[in-house]
């Protein structure tokens, strides 16, 4: 690929003039601009962003670090971020960590060496993350998504996980449920897992009910029905569960159906995230909807404006669906007995 010197020669101008045709076209006389452009076209010249970046010390690439792309919420967020970044002239360097600290560290190191202009990332626990310290020390701008720093005050964008989960639980309570469980993937120690559990606890407590321990699955994307089954039997069986993401909820519904458990008659199931596909299944999935496109675009905006320093909270919505209903009468009756 040819460089500016060749273009300048062919156009009969100096390097500087040829360069200006691309960086400051309005500085040139129309005919010289034309000469340069024709020459560059003829040579198949393309400005070298790497050289420009070295010279100007500012990059046109943003780094993105997400836990996974297997959850459609992250994939869609990435797509929204990419679009928003591109309209501002930026490209996205993308990596996934699976929440593994070593991978996070390697990726962040790579991006720092690459001198990205900034980073959007989601970590397990924003208040205890090594990579965020690294970024701060390197004076690299970043914005957290989904994370909710409590002690620190990193820039972040997310929904109010605690409030959202409380509302979801409230909805199930209003339907008449009393024995409500919470199903989660691994990483219970993540900041939002904690907040969601608190939201669940808030609602249960206000209803004068006991919150149950989290039912923890081995995977973020697939529920193991066997872990839930014991709690569906006995004196005080669960009549409803809320999952911390929609994939867990969807696979739970499938597994329940195969096990002969009727949804929602015998068990109400609610998800979290509000991914599209949940709406189109049968039964449709009730969920807490996150404005994921807004979240993606907003993260890029925050990063590029580098204005705000605190947490930007986005509105969530409770999405109703056929996966939840009032509990069977027998279960209600049962629940009236003190345990």
State the residues that interact with its own copies by CB under 8 A.
1, 44, 46-51, 53-54, 59-61, 68-70, 72, 74-76, 78-79, 82-83, 86, 91-96, 106-107, 109-115, 137-139, 221-223, 247, 250-251, 253-258, 276-277, 280-282, 284
Closest CA to 77 of 300, 270, 286, 280: 300
Report if residue 258 touches DNA, rule: CB under 7 A.
no
For position 322 contacting DNA by CB under 7 A, the verdict is no
Q: Which of 9, 43, 52, 160 binds DNA (CB under 7 A)?
A: 52
Residue 16 or 307: the one with the smaller Cβ distance to DNA is 16
Binding test (CB under 7 A) with DNA, winner from 38, 54, 218, 259? 54
Task: Tell me if 32 contacts DNA by CB under 7 A.
Answer: yes
Q: Confirm or reject binding of residue 38 to DNA (CB under 7 A).
A: no
Contacts of residue 196, Cβ cutoff 8 Å, sequence gap at least 6? 161, 162, 164, 165, 182, 184, 244, 272
* Residue with smaller CB distance to its own copies, 276 or 308: 276
Kindly tell me which residue out of 16, 87, 307, 329 binds DNA, with binding defined by CB under 7 A.
16
The radius of gyration computed from the CA coordinates of the chain, to the nearest angstrom, equals: 26
Tokens of 108: 């962040």
Question: Which residue, 78 or 204, has its beta carbon nearer to its own copies?
Answer: 78
Binding segment for DNA (CB under 7 A), chosen from 54-62, 133-141, 244-252, 305-313, is: 54-62
Under the criterion CB under 7 A, does residue 19 sit at the interface with DNA? Answer: yes
In three-state secondary structure terms, 196 is: helix
Based on the shown chain and the rule CB under 7 A, indicate whether residue 5 belongs to the binding site for DNA. yes
Alpha-carbon dihedral sign for residues 18, 19, 23, 26? negative
CB 244 within 8 A of CB 270: no
Q: Which residues pair with 159 in a beta bridge?
A: 314
Question: Residue 138, interface with DNA (CB under 7 A)?
Answer: no
Which residue number, 26 or 280, has a Cβ lying nearer to DNA?
26
Residue 122 binds DNA (CB under 7 A) = no
Distance, CA of 324 to CA of 283 (rounded, Å): 9
Q: Which of 9, 10, 27, 203 binds DNA (CB under 7 A)?
A: 27
In order, the DSSP letters of 93-151 are: EEEE-TT-HHHHHHHHHHHHHTT-SEEEE--S-GGG-HHHHHHHHTT--EEEES---SS
Separation CA 234–CA 238 (nearest Å): 9
> How distant, in Å, are the alpha carbons of 179, 216, 231, 339 from that of 210?
9, 18, 15, 10
The residue ranges that bind DNA (CB under 7 A) are 3-5, 13-17, 19-20, 22-24, 27-29, 32-33, 45-48, 51-52, 54-57
């Amino acid at each position: 690929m040819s460089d500016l010197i060749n273009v300048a020669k062919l156009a009969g101008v100096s390097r500087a003039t040829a360069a200006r045709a691309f960086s400051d076209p309005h500085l040139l006389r129309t005919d010289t601009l034309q000469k340069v452009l024709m020459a560059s076209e003829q040579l198949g010249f393309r400005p070298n962003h790497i050289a420009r970046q070295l010279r100007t010390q500012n990059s046109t690439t943003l780094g993105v670090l997400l836990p996974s792309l297997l959850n459609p919420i992250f994939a869609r967020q990435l797509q929204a971020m990419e679009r928003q970044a591109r309209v501002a002239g930026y490209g996205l360097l993308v990596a996934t960590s699976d929440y593994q600290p070593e991978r996070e560290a390697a990726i962040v190191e790579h991006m720092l060496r690459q001198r990205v202009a900034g980073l959007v990332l989601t970590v397990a626990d924003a208040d205890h993350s090594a990579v965020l310290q690294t970024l701060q020390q390197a004076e690299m701008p970043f914005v957290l998504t989904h994370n909710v720093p409590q002690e620190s005050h990193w820039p972040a964008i997310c929904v109010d996980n605690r409030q959202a989960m409380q509302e979801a639980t409230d909805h199930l309570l209003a339907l008449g449920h009393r024995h409500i469980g919470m199903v989660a993937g691994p990483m219970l120690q993540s900041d939002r897992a904690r907040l969601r559990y608190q939201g669940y606890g808030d609602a249960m407590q206000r209803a004068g009910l006991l919150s149950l321990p989290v039912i923890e699955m081995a995977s973020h994307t697939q529920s193991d029905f066997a872990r839930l089954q014991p709690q569906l039997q006995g004196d005080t069986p669960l009549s409803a569960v809320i999952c911390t993401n929609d994939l867990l909820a969807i696979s739970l519904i499938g597994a329940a159906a195969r096990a002969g458990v009727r949804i929602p008659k015998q068990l109400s199931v609610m998800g979290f995230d509000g991914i599209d596909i949940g709406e189109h299944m049968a039964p449709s999935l009730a969920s807490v909807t996150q404005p994921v496109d807004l979240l993606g675009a907003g993260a890029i905006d925050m990063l590029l404006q580098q204005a705000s320093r605190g947490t930007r909270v986005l509105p969530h919505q409770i999405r109703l669906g056929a996966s939840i209903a009032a509990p069977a009468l027998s279960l209600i009756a049962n629940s009236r007995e003190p345990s």
